[in-house]
Structure 1
Amino acid sequence: MENFEPTIIAFVCNWCTYTAADLAGTSRKKYPENVRLIKVMCTGMVDPKYVLKAFLQGADAVLVSGCHPGDCHYINGNYKARRRIKLLHSVLGNFGINKKRLRLTWIGASDGIEFAETIDAMVREIKAEGPLHTDLKQVI
């Protein structure tokens, strides 16, 4: 398992976290290439079935990241995302998925370094967990 490189799907807010990822790149801040960014207009638009589908299609972990609470461009989208992630955390065990594999973070547009550090930490933690071995097709 020492050669294991996790696949992480990240649903990121267009206004904050995606901009932070862009800032990390333009600042030449290195972070692991394990993450695949999916830009959404707001984390409130991330339907729980998108998260489950990411796991179903082979993701080892999923990150949902957006504006800090109170700073959402769509007023309360990040609160909606927080409720959905809490619900998903309570359901993931039924699918044989450790809730550590789903993370919600708030990363502002000017936090490029924080974005890179978050990805780096998540990759290290998921490497330690190992690959996701579950047959979701039988459960879903």
Structure 2
Amino acid sequence: MRTNFENPQPRLIGFLCENGAHVFYDVSNPVRRRLPANFIGLPVASINQVQTNAVLKAFLSGADGVLIAGCESCRKQQDEQHEAQFAALAQALTNCDIAPERLRWEWISTQEERKFIQLVNDMMESLRQMPPLRLPPQLGQIISYCG
């Protein structure tokens, strides 16, 4: 459990498909005002392009958790290769002593505003219940090796 002295709020970084969840993070969308201030959404053309090193860099940059949210087109493009990529990503986190629960992979359409807000809030609450993230010193070397 976090104390206010250690870190009052967890930081969550989201890789958000431009055709899905990123619509809710857009500055002009009023939904953004209902999201936690310590949630940062990064647009991606497709979540299938999110690489392991990008997720590891998010953790190295101070994220306590990472959300990868794709649209229906991303889901249709997903194949066994992408499922293997996610499994490899989960294994990379485990190898770096990062709990797999700190990463979520979800499908969010532009019609699922409530689902997106609930997902972000639920993930924030889950991260609040976890101890602060302690990254291994070799994480920077792993990222350099991965590219």
TM-score range, shorter chain: 0.7 to 0.9
TM-score between both structures, scaled by the size of structure 1: 0.83
Structure 1: any 5+ residue segments left out of the alignment? none
User: Taking structure 2 as the reference length, what is the TM-score of the superposition?
Assistant: 0.80
Query: For the Cα contact (< 8 Å) 1:63–1:104, is it kept in 2?
Result: yes
**Are the structure 2 counterparts of residues 27 and 49 from structure 1 closer, same or farther at C-alpha, using a change threshold of 3 Å?**
closer
Equivalences, count: 137
CA–CA separation in structure 2 for the residues paired with 1:79 and 1:33: 35
Residue type of the alignment partner of 1:16:
G
SS of aligned partner of 2:22: helix
Runs of 4+ residues over 6 Å off in structure 1? none
Deviation at residue 84 of structure 1 after TM alignment: 2.1
Q: Equivalent pairs: percent with the same residue?
A: 28
Flag structure 2 segments of 5+ consecutive residues without an equivalent: 143-147
Q: Distance in 1 between matches of 2:33 and 2:56?
A: 30
* Paired letter, 1:54: A
**CA deviation after TM superposition for structure 1 residue 20, in Å:** 3.8
Equivalent residue in structure 1 for 2:13, among 9, 22, 32: 9
The answer to whether the 8 A contact 1:19-1:110 is kept is no
| Partner SS state of residue 135, structure 1 | coil
Deviation of the 1:57 alpha carbon = 1.7
Q: CA, structure 1 residues 48+34, in 2 after alignment: closer, same or farther (shift >3 Å)?
A: same
What is the RMSD of the two structures over their aligned residues, measured on CA atoms?
Answer: 2.6
